[in-house]
Amino acid sequence: MSNVYLLPVATFLIFQVTFLGTYIVAVLEGHVVPTVPYISDAATYSPESCIFGQLINMGSVLLGLTIYVRYRHIMQLYEHHPELDATLVRHNRLSLWFGMVSCLGISIVGNFQETNVRIMHFIGAFCCFGCGTLYFWMQALMTYTIYPMAGTRKTAHLRLGMSVCCTILFIMLAVTGIMSHILFNGQNPRKWYPSDGGWYYHVISTISEWIIATIFSFFILSFTPEFRDVSLQHPQISLMSYTMNV
């Protein structure tokens, strides 16, 4: 299969459709106010929660496949270029774990709504954004390591910049989110008005979440040029005493 480069493109598109589609439906249904709610707040009630859960699960699967292909891509580069530092293998495996935990977090966020299972939802969000940010740092540093065998210096700089932004935004999201909920004195946090208290912290937190989610999508999309040099083969399945390709 030579069109592997479409995998990060499909992942990017499904996440963008999920976030924007859920938001539009939630606003039209009157379940949230239009002024930048949390992504998960827009996916709290039916029918948008159903749409969000289905699409986010599909997206997490595609993301997991993208992360695994990237892992194998770097392993193949190491095997064909023995001059690369041996620490690249260790960093690549660590990056794979961070990425997969982030995928699991995304799925948890989609399946455990904040209003139903708050603790699990927050754990999923932490895994998604926290481990996702660590994954981006590892990928940015490895992009410098594998250059010029794969990728470009410009791509490495871009990924490093996105990693820095995600780190800053993740801290802002967490700190202002906690502060806004402490100061909130309204009835329904899904419909947060300026008179409810903690409004400015809430807006900073929600905007940070939307930006970091967008950066996440574009970071995955940045794998597209490198995946053009990747080809996948059908897996080999062992049946009893012989092997065949399916």
Amino acid at 93: R
pTM above 0.75, yes or no: yes
Tens digits of per-residue pLDDT, 137-162? Answer: 999 999 999 998 888 999 999 999 99
Write down the domain spans for the chain: 5-228
Q: pLDDT class for 241, splitting at 50, 70, 90?
A: low
Tens digits of per-residue pLDDT, 5-51? Answer: 899 999 999 999 999 999 999 989 888 888 888 888 888 888 888 89
Answer whether residue 245 shows pLDDT above 70: no
Question: 179 exposed, middle or buried (CB, 10 Å; 0-12, 13-18, 19+)?
Answer: middle
- Rounded distance, CA 198 to CA 129, Å? 23
Buried/exposed code over 129-148 (b: 16+ C-beta within 10 A; e: otherwise): bbbbbbbbbbbbbbbebbee
